[in-house]
Structure 1
Amino acid sequence: MKEWKNVQYEDNGKITKITLNRPDKLNSLNDELLYELEKALQEAAKSPSSILILTGKGKAFCAGGDIKMMLEEDEALYESVITTINNIVSTLYSLKKVTVCTINGAAAGLGLSIALACDKVVAVPTAILAMNFIGIGLIPDGGGHFFLKNRIGEANAKRIIWEGKKLHAKEAKELGLIDSIVESEIDDFILAEIKRLQLAPLQAMIETKTILQRTEYPILEQMLLLEKEGQRKMRHTKDHQEGIKAFFEKRVPHFKGC
């Protein structure tokens, strides 16, 4: 097992497992964790394994971007972070493996975008999902627009993004946002899912994934570029400043559309 400060990486040549390991912060994504996750996925891309499991340690999969990182006004840091985010999503989406994300609690904002980059997304019954960028006057990044549109259609994607509300696992499953709800212990599910996939014609499954991915990848790339520029603009709006202020003051934000 290879372990960075915030990410655990395990690989036996057949199965790769990546675990977000910042449980005291609900695996929120600061620049350090993002850089480590990018490295882990680069390792995974070189592995001969056919299955990748992505999960989070502790009570959440990922609570989204670290709010302290969002407060940084350094444009060079923003450029570095958003490039890393886009590399993470592009690599995860295009891996020649069957990828499974297990949501063992909250999956919010960028954390949800990353989860949706996987082929199969499962969640425990108590999981809460939210594309909640709107609450601080931002837009989804990490391919959030792309993955939501692909999974639930344009109209539902806009509704989920604009409302930013929390979805319980059952509602997310009914909407088509996740694939299934795990009633057993998450570790037991992972073992069972690995056994099931190992008995499947994995190379045929991966070939289908590759064919579909090749037609969609240029669209994902365009979406990531549009999100990068759109997010850059939103970071300088008064609504974003109000959203951040309201977050820290634990009150409802008063947006003015500017």
Structure 2
Amino acid sequence: MSVDSTDLVELDRTDDLLEVRLNRPDKLNALNPELIEGLHEAFTAVADERGLGIVITGAGRVTCAGMDTEIVSGDYGEYPDLHATLQEVYQLIETHPGPVAIAGRGALVGAGAIISLSCEFVVLSEDATFAIPEVKYDIASARAADRLPDVVGPRAAAELLLTGEEIDPERARSLGLATDVVPSDAVEDRARELVATVGDHDPETIAELIELLNGGADT
């Protein structure tokens, strides 16, 4: 199965790497239904490609500012399938049988930060903002509440989710939310480098390890 780029999701494919670029820079790559559907199609198309490395990034100065504020501030009921589709995107990223890195330039906020929780590698720029501010919009993110305690521990997870306040890149790294922090112009290269290092290993072994990391073992 193959999928082409869309207006809001650009794809650049080589034999061993897929780059997925959010392409809504005028809105800081905030997610809307079309962009979420584009991500869903892109990750569904490669769901069986064991060992394929993926780098998620964004056009412009910000990788992802979260969900479009017109959606989170308005009537969510106008988008009946949006929540379910976004949850499937998180799951597709998490279970992809190859390494997924996100290049966080400028900001990973809200849904962008939650996407990063599904990735094996998270590279942040030195000027990046990391935050999960859903509580400020009266939204309780079940996905973040489920994943964050395993990454940062219950106390830091409570701080991030209950205050909704941003943290700086170095604190994100100290908490285990970021793999590396680099200058803004080096974020994508560092993400590619991490994925390429994994690509040196057996694809079947990598796929098995990712499944184990996601709780796929009985013991």
Q: 1:105-120 residue pairs with structure 2 within 5 A?
A: 105-120=106-121
Measured after TM superposition, the shift of residue 163 of structure 1 is 1.3
Aligned to 2:179: 179
Measured after TM superposition, the shift of residue 112 of structure 1 is 0.6
Which amino acid is the alignment partner of residue 17 of structure 1? E
Q: Distance in 2 between matches of 1:150 and 1:44?
A: 27
Which amino acid is the alignment partner of residue 126 of structure 2? P
Q: Distance in 2 between matches of 1:190 and 1:107?
A: 15
Aligned to 1:42: 44
Q: 1:93 to 1:132 in 2, by over 3 A?
A: same
Comparing 80-89 with 152-161, greater Cα deviation is found at 152-161
Tell me, what secondary structure is at the counterpart of 2:170? helix
Aligned to 1:27: 29
Cα contact 2:50–2:97 (8 A) shared by 1:
no
Alignment length (residue pairs): 214
> RMSD across aligned C-alpha pairs, in angstroms?
2.1
Q: 1:98-109 residue pairs with structure 2 within 5 A?
A: 98-109=99-110
Tell me, what secondary structure is at the counterpart of 1:32? helix
The answer to whether structure 1 residue 65 and structure 2 residue 64 are counterparts is no
Q: 1:96 to 1:194 in 2, by over 3 A?
A: closer
Aligned to 2:165: 165
Aligned to 2:85: 84
Identity rate, percent: 22
TM-score normalised according to structure 1 size: 0.76
Q: 1:69-123: per-residue Cα shift (whole Å, max 9, x none)?
A: 2244363x44300011111011111111111111011111111101211111111
Comparing both structures, which one devotes a greater share of its residues to helix? 1
Q: Distance in 2 between matches of 1:188 and 1:179?
A: 14
Q: Which runs of 5+ in 1 are unaligned?
A: 217-258
Measured after TM superposition, the shift of residue 150 of structure 1 is 1.7
Measured after TM superposition, the shift of residue 9 of structure 1 is 1.5
Q: Distance in 1 between matches of 2:30 and 2:102?
A: 16
Q: Distance in 1 between matches of 2:48 and 2:130?
A: 31
The answer to whether structure 1 residue 51 and structure 2 residue 53 are counterparts is yes
Cα contact 1:12–1:49 (8 A) shared by 2:
no
Cα contact 2:94–2:118 (8 A) shared by 1:
yes
Q: Distance in 1 between matches of 2:79 and 2:26?
A: 24
Q: Distance in 2 between matches of 1:103 and 1:209?
A: 21
Runs of 4+ in 1 over 4 A off after TM superposition: none
Tell me, what secondary structure is at the counterpart of 2:15? coil
Q: Distance in 2 between matches of 1:5 and 1:147?
A: 31
Cα contact 2:37–2:85 (8 A) shared by 1:
yes
Of the two, which has the highest radius of gyration? 1
Q: Distance in 2 between matches of 1:172 and 1:93?
A: 20
Aligned to 1:96: 97
Tell me, what secondary structure is at the counterpart of 2:60? coil
Measured after TM superposition, the shift of residue 26 of structure 1 is 0.5
Measured after TM superposition, the shift of residue 194 of structure 1 is 4.0
Measured after TM superposition, the shift of residue 189 of structure 1 is 2.0
Cα contact 2:51–2:99 (8 A) shared by 1:
no
Which amino acid is the alignment partner of residue 19 of structure 1? R
Cα contact 2:9–2:35 (8 A) shared by 1:
yes
Q: Distance in 1 between matches of 2:76 and 2:149?
A: 31
Q: Distance in 2 between matches of 1:42 and 1:60?
A: 25
Aligned to 1:235: none
Cα contact 1:148–1:157 (8 A) shared by 2:
yes
Identify the match of residue 7 of structure 2 among 5, 8, 17: 5
Q: 1:74 to 1:98 in 2, by over 3 A?
A: closer
Tell me, what secondary structure is at the counterpart of 1:181? strand
The answer to whether structure 1 residue 193 and structure 2 residue 201 are counterparts is no
Cα contact 1:64–1:110 (8 A) shared by 2:
yes
